[in-house]
Structure 1
């Protein structure tokens, strides 16, 4: 079989083994969810985006791409009227089932998104917990972070994360990683008991995905 052209845009930056591990872990989360258990997803987004005129449209676009019945939380609904965010984040994050990140583009129309220190910390916390994390890209919809190319930028005292969406990401055909992540975020209305825990649940599909 002839080799693929060198300039072919990748559909994922994750090696096949990591993709398989991620899919297995996401499927296990879906199987383990108890019937009727709530699903809580936090939307990480900087103020400079929420203050724009089109924010409500973007928020609606995110909701429409996530499974029906989840609880989508934002800073305004989770932290604005309570104690300090910094002192509450770790405890709050422990109760989350997933994270969606909206971040500024490096340049309009590009594939590179930049996460500030707060969003970087939020992403790393939820990734480390083995929960699904998705980037909402303007032209690509939801993209699992595992499929993105992640890089660390900025000085040590103000580290940021740069996420690059694969150039070959196909919005018309949902990738298996995206399907698995959305299944992991779907509430379980079934009366059937959850499946027993299997060894696949112990896989760490995120190793090396975020630096």
Structure 2
């Protein structure tokens, strides 16, 4: 548990944060024209709640202007096989926003992702795309900055993400992620060596099987 007198802004090591920021700026520098597409992954039933439209509107305002925000109802054929549809959709996405279930309503910093959302996260992090956790209380938070904890066993393993106690929307990781999702391509300022995302995926992936 976090010490109450020592709020932190990220659970990620400084080197990993620097690598993430560098990678996000590289995405912005390399992006060509065309729409920027972000998928909002939610637990089942969330879109049936009375505040769903308001939630989408708030999230859209928190993303850069011009971002095309997709969700399950707009991205998938409901009578088709989700698992067959996800890979081709993921290949067209520029980013992923997730939200999870809470164990208790008052624990607004803890979100638990189901097995499907966890795999979506791994897919997008592995591709080097920005992945953000969204809550109504804390806004957008890069998953990189959250504390991950795997819960349960495969194939139903879930992922609990905890938002840092001292999180602020001014954190450079969030600003870099939003820059990567900006609808207009950024002006190139020089060649930057791409950052491989494998070390970012590791905290969210399943542990290797014992021999």
Aligned length: 201
Q: Which moved more, 1:201-210 or 1:96-105?
A: 201-210
Larger relative contact order (Cα-Cα within 8 Å, sequence gap ≥ 6): 1
Is 1:177 the counterpart of 2:170? The answer is no
Q: Within 1, Cα distance between the matches of 2:146 and 2:99?
A: 14
Please name the residue that 1:49 is paired with.
46
Match of 2:13 among 3, 15, 20: 15
Superposition pairs of residues 116-127 of structure 1, within 5 angstroms: 116-127=114-125
Is 1:62 aligned with 2:56? no
Superposed counterparts of 1:130-209, under 5 Å: 130-171=128-169, 174-188=170-184, 197-199=191-193, 201-204=194-197, 206-209=200-203
Q: Which residue of 1 aligns with 2:209?
A: none
Inter-partner Cα distance in structure 2 for 1:96 and 1:197: 24
Unaligned runs of 5+ in 2: 206-211
Judge conservation of contact 1:98–1:132 (CA < 8 Å) in 2.
Answer: yes
Q: Which residue of 2 aligns with 1:210?
A: 204
CA RMSD of aligned residues (A): 2.0
Distance 2:158 2:204 in 1: 11
Equivalent residues of 1:32, 1:195 under 8 A apart: no
Structure 1 runs (4+) deviating above 4 angstroms are 194-197
Aligned-pair CA distance for 1:119? 0.7
* SS in structure 1 of the partner of residue 166 of structure 2: coil
Structure 1 residue 209: deviation in Å? 3.8
2:87 is the counterpart of 1:90: yes
2: distance between equivalents of 1:31 and 1:52?
39
Q: Is the 8 A contact 2:97 2:131 kept in 1?
A: yes
Q: Which runs of 5+ in 1 are unaligned?
A: none
